[in-house]
């Protein structure tokens, strides 16, 4: 970890962002797993202090703006669990891949705009290293009735 330089923790401070506490691991799966220099996160819901920031289908009861905020919260949780697994946020080097599931009314087609709430934050925090490959898809149902679920792959510092 020779080039560990507090880049990301510094950037979070500049942006005024405090990472959420990572959730406690549950019995049979964990929030994030490291293999080689990649860190895979579990799907993250927009939970903030135990409360969902958006519930229900986007395009019916939830607006695009509300869902973007939920996507932002979900990716903050993803950064938090990856940081905890990696030994600190400064061990996260780059964002490789994001998959965003958006609970959608059947006629809602702006999943990319919703997931921009996550992608834009990744670029604010990680700069060039935040530019990731991404899929944004709809779904009719998510855990806890959440509006968004996001999983992600980070590359770690060597």
From CA 129, how far away is CA 124, in angstroms rounded? 10
Q: Which residue has the tokens 């925090």?
A: 125
From CA 74, how far away is CA 79, in angstroms rounded? 9
In angstroms, give the least distance from the CB of 16 to a copy of itself: 19
- Could you tell me which stretch among 7-15, 16-24, 65-73, 150-158 binds a copy of itself (CB under 8 A)? 150-158
**73 to each of 3, 35, 38, 106, how far by Cα in Å?**
29, 25, 22, 24
Complex with a copy of itself: residue 24 or 140, whichever CB lies closer: 140
From CA 23, how far away is CA 21, in angstroms rounded? 6
25 in contact with a copy of itself (CB under 8 A) = yes
From CA 150, how far away is CA 113, in angstroms rounded? 14
Query: Pick from 12, 43, 54, 79: which binds a copy of itself (CB under 8 A)?
Result: 43
65 in contact with a copy of itself (CB under 8 A) = no
# residues contacting a copy of itself (CB under 8 A)? 59
15 in contact with a copy of itself (CB under 8 A) = no
Residue 90 and residue 39 in contact, taking contact as beta carbons nearer than 8 Å: no
Question: What torsion do the CA atoms of 63, 64, 67, 69 make, to the nearest 10 degrees?
Answer: -110
The interface with a copy of itself within residues 81-140 (CB under 8 A) comprises 94, 96-99, 101-102, 104-112, 116, 119-120, 122-123, 130-140
In angstroms, give the least distance from the CB of 158 to a copy of itself: 11
Q: Which residues bind a copy of itself (CB under 8 A)?
A: 25, 27-33, 35-38, 40-43, 57, 59, 94, 96-99, 101-102, 104-112, 116, 119-120, 122-123, 130-145, 149, 151, 153, 155
């Amino acid at each position: 970890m020779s080039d560990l330089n507090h880049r990301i923790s510094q950037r979070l401070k500049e942006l005024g962002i405090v990472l959420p506490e990572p959730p406690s691991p549950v019995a049979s799966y964990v929030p994030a797993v490291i293999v080689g220099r990649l860190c895979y996160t579990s799907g993250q819901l927009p939970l903030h202090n135990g409360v969902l920031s958006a519930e229900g289908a986007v395009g019916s009861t939830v607006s695009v703006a509300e869902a973007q905020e939920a996507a932002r919260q979900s990716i903050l949780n993803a950064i938090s669990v990856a940081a905890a697994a990696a030994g600190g946020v400064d061990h996260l080097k780059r964002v490789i891949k994001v998959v965003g599931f958006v609970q959608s009314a059947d006629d809602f087609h702006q999943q990319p705009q919703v997931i921009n709430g996550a992608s834009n934050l990744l670029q604010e925090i990680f700069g060039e290293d935040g530019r990731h490959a991404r899929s944004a898809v709809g779904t009719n149902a998510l855990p806890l009735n959440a509006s968004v679920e996001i999983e992600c792959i980070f590359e770690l510092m060597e």
